[in-house]
């Protein structure tokens, strides 16, 4: 542990990019990692369905200028929040930036990402722009574009954790801990909706299952999750040709 601290002090304070992924996203993960700056820590949690539920640290190594920490969550019942919280546990730095394996950091923002460590101590979270597109799946439809604000960076020392089985949130927990949240110019491209009809249908079916379970078992952000379930059901029926 002392050696780890000395190594970080010699390198200067870093940010930790935290990622959850699975075996089907190997190609997307490689492209996302290639978009990140050098001189950071990258923490990757692979998720594997299992008849048991446990998390293990797999490896710690350096590769092409970045420090890597990898682990595997073997799960019985999947939760995006629980997976992301395991990735937080892997991080050894205070500032964490969560990325999906099918995200892509725009190259002009690499330095801005590393500079998050210079923010005042009272700032606990940073909003970034997330944008992407969804191709048409039915005749007569057009490609849809979107751009939304995401709280993508936060201080681990706030004690904030993700909550929610799907469309997981961490902003409310940071605000409840009375930390400031600032807005950045950093932009992230999300490629997850550029997929075949079959893959998208499977994704929305998963989301509907998890959103239904979320509403059945928790009052956390209930209005938000009810609206998300309504939206996901509409899109799923559209994909199935039921509208």
Q: Does domain 2-190 have CATH number 3.90.1010.10?
A: no
The sheet that has 95-100: what strands, in order across it? 54-63, 66-75, 41-49, 16-21, 95-100, 144-155, 123-134, 180-190, 103-105
How confident is the model at residue 7, as a pLDDT? 42
Higher model confidence: residue 44 or residue 4? 44
Q: How many CB atoms lie within 10 A of CB 69?
A: 21
Q: Would you call 127 exposed, middle or buried from its count of C-beta atoms within 10 A (0-12, 13-18, 19+)?
A: middle
Q: What are the tens digits of pLDDT across the range 35-59?
A: 999 999 999 999 999 999 999 999 9
3-state DSSP helix/strand/coil % of the chain, to nearest 5: 40, 35, 30
pLDDT bin (cut points 50, 70, 90) of residue 10 is very low
**Residues 105-132: what's their mean pLDDT?**
97
- CB-count burial class (<10 Å; 0-12, 13-18, 19+) for 122: exposed
What mean pLDDT comes out for the span 223-227?
Answer: 98
Q: What is the mean pLDDT of residues 14-29?
A: 95
The 10s digit of each residue's pLDDT in 164-208 is: 999 999 999 999 999 999 999 999 999 988 888 899 999 999 999
Mean pLDDT of 150-156: 98
Domain borders along the chain are 2-190, 197-239
C-beta separation of 28 from 101 below 8 A: yes
């Amino acid at each position: 542990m002392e050696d780890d601290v000395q190594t970080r002090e010699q390198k200067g304070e870093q940010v930790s990019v935290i990622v959850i992924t699975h075996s089907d996203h190997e190609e997307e993960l490689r492209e996302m990692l290639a978009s990140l700056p050098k001189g950071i820590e990258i923490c990757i949690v692979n998720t594997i369905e299992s008849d048991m539920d446990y998390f293990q640290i797999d490896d710690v190594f350096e590769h092409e200028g970045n420090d890597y920490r990898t682990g595997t969550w073997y799960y019985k019942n999947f939760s995006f929040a629980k997976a992301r919280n395991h990735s937080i546990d892997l991080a050894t730095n205070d500032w964490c930036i969560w990325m999906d394996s099918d995200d892509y950091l725009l190259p002009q923002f690499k330095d801005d990402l590393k500079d998050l460590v210079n923010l005042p101590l009272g700032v606990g979270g940073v909003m970034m722009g997330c944008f992407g597109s969804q191709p048409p799946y039915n005749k007569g439809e057009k490609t849809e574009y979107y751009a939304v604000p995401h709280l993508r960076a936060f201080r681990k020392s706030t004690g904030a954790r993700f909550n929610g089985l799907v469309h997981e949130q961490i902003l409310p927990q940071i605000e409840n801990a009375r930390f400031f949240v600032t807005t950045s110019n950093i932009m992230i491209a999300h490629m997850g909706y550029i997929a075949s009809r079959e893959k998208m249908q499977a994704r929305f079916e998963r989301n509907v299952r998890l959103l239904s379970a979320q509403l059945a078992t928790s009052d956390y952000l209930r209005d938000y999750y009810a609206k998300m379930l309504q939206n996901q059901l509409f899109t799923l029926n559209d994909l199935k040709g039921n509208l």
